[in-house]
Amino acid sequence: MSDPHQPGTPAGTDPADIERRAALAEVLGKEVWPADRDTLVTKVKEGNATDNVVSQLRGLPEGQQFTNVQDVAQALGLGTEQERF
């Protein structure tokens, strides 16, 4: 039986994915978008991000533009919330 006091996790995600995406959002901020992989890596290095975050972003496809953290999360294979219709 699940703990009723645990925060809900949207369909398509798990708590670890949410934490990773939140960490990315925190170091990337709102001013960087749109951005490609190299811009994102530079931004997080300037913000003293962890080696893990830098490594994740270096794994993004070269030359692709990202418009927000959701785009980055999807490219990294993190679970993301499904759109509601």
Q: What is the pLDDT of residues 41-84, one digit of tens each?
A: 999 999 889 999 999 999 999 999 999 999 999 999 987 655 44
Dihedral sign for Cα atoms in the order 47, 51, 57, 58: positive
The C-alpha angle with vertex 23 and arms to 78 and 32, in degrees rounded to 5, equals 95
Rounded mean pLDDT of 8-18? 64
Interatomic CA distance for residues 27 and 9, integer angstroms: 22
Give 9's pLDDT tier (boundaries 50, 70, 90). Answer: very low
pLDDT of residue 37: 97
pLDDT of residue 85: 42
pLDDT of residue 80: 65
